[in-house]
Amino acid sequence: MASEQPGFWARVQRASVERLHIRLESLVVLLALGTAMALLSPYFLSLSNFLNILLATSTIGVLAIAATFVIGSGGLDLSLGSVMGLAGVAGAFVAVNLGWPSVLAVIACILAGAIAGYINGQLVTRAFVPAFIVTLGMLGLARGLALVISQGRAIYGLPPEIVYIGQGRPFGIPMPVIIFVLTAIVAHAVLAYTRFGRHTLALGDSEGAARAAGIRVEHHRRIIYTLSGALAGLAGLLFTARVNAGDPTAGINYELTAITAAIIGGTNLFGGRASILGTMIGALIMGVLQNGLTLLAVQSYYQQMAIGAVLILAVFIDQYQVRKESRV
């Protein structure tokens, strides 16, 4: 009888997956990474550095939330970084070149992202072009449009209200961190506890089962891609406000980091399993990794390599686990 009982670790693992929707391994990796960095660098363990990590993670984190929804639904959005760049330029253009009120600039950021995402969704569900190709094409389209709008130069001179979104520190906490955490809480509630979120995962799990259950599959996908674009727009706003410029080259390669964060957090690359809580751990792992490597004075070129390697490693481990579980 005792031999049939799964071990303590296995039970805790199962409970964390079933109840909290996170893979415990990612939490262990985060703690191990943090400990290693603390031992290697005397500057790592400090409140200001902790806030630095969160601040640096906020943009990527919002993109990773978008990636989690899309990948969880069985899709893919490679245009996240480019759409983020386009949205930032759109917002800066509205505020600076047009001189419109800051509220409209904020709306322009998110709307630009949502429109790009909506186009992605339409093409995926109506034109039957694979998501990989559609969003790869959008990666080029959005980046090009950002360069066209800004004529290839960063747009400076944002109004103070927008700069506050990026640089303000109410209660000593950076505004982007506050916005990022609030977004994550809402996204977690939506994905884990609402019908919308459950249908998203069911759709990624088996499109046939979702269709048989009466879920409007194509409609749902269009909403997911639009949501993904809107979140990329929000990320663009955070970035633009933080650096105080609408930079058309903002967000290059960010989709790589965002998708990596989602996968490390336990999102199944092929859909059906995903959690925002897990993605947040994944995003923090990426943040700690980049912060630590910077503190250790490792060149940023190597950081890029590290992120790519981590992505492949994370998918390898995930697939290894899936194969192991399916044998049981």
Partner 1 sequence: MTLLSLHGIRKSFGAVDVLHGVDLSVAAGEVVGLVGDNGAGKSTLMKTITGIYRADTGSIEFDGKDILALDPGQRRQLGIEMIYQDLSLAKQQDVASNIFLGREPTKRLFGLFPGFVDKGEMDRQAAKMIERLGAHLPSINRSVGSFSGGQQQTVAIARALTFNPKLVIMDEPTAALAVREVQSVLDLIRRLKSEGIAVILISHRLNDVLSVTDRIVVLRHGRADADLVTARTNMNEVVSRIVGGGDIAAAAAHEQRG
Cα-to-chain-centroid distance, residue 311: 14
| Identified binder of partner 1 from the candidate list 99, 214, 297, 323, rule CB under 8 A | 214
| Identified binder of partner 1 from the candidate list 206, 244, 294, 304, rule CB under 8 A | 206
Given the complex with partner 1, which of 275 and 303 has the nearer CB atom? 275
- Decide the pairing of beta strands 155-156 and 245-246: antiparallel
Stretch that binds partner 1, among 114-122, 141-149, 157-165, 207-215 (CB under 8 A): 207-215
Q: Is 194 in the site for partner 1 (CB under 8 A)?
A: yes
- Cβ–Cβ < 8 Å for 303, 290: yes
Stretch that binds partner 1, among 41-49, 160-168, 209-217, 312-320 (CB under 8 A): 209-217
Distance in angstroms (rounded) separating the CA atoms of residues 232 and 227 = 9
Q: Is 185 in the site for partner 1 (CB under 8 A)?
A: no
> Measured between alpha carbons, how far is residue 131 from residues 72, 114, 171 in Å?
13, 16, 42
Minimum Å gap between C-beta 80 and partner 1 is: 24
Q: Is 309 in the site for partner 1 (CB under 8 A)?
A: no
Q: Is 196 in the site for partner 1 (CB under 8 A)?
A: yes
Distance in angstroms (rounded) separating the CA atoms of residues 230 and 275 = 19
| Identified binder of partner 1 from the candidate list 16, 150, 268, 290, rule CB under 8 A | 268
CA angle 297, 61, 293 (to 5 degrees): 10
- Cβ–Cβ < 8 Å for 272, 201: yes
Q: Is 122 in the site for partner 1 (CB under 8 A)?
A: no
Closest CA to 228 of 20, 98, 25, 76: 76
Minimum Å gap between C-beta 15 and partner 1 is: 9
Phi, psi for 115 (deg, rounded to 5): -65, -45
Stretch that binds partner 1, among 29-37, 41-49, 98-106, 193-201 (CB under 8 A): 193-201
Strand segments (E) across 23-108: none
- Residue count, binding to partner 1 (CB under 8 A): 25
Q: Is 1 in the site for partner 1 (CB under 8 A)?
A: no
Residues that bind partner 1 (CB under 8 A): 18, 189, 193-196, 198-199, 201-202, 205-206, 208-210, 212-215, 268, 272-273, 325-326, 328
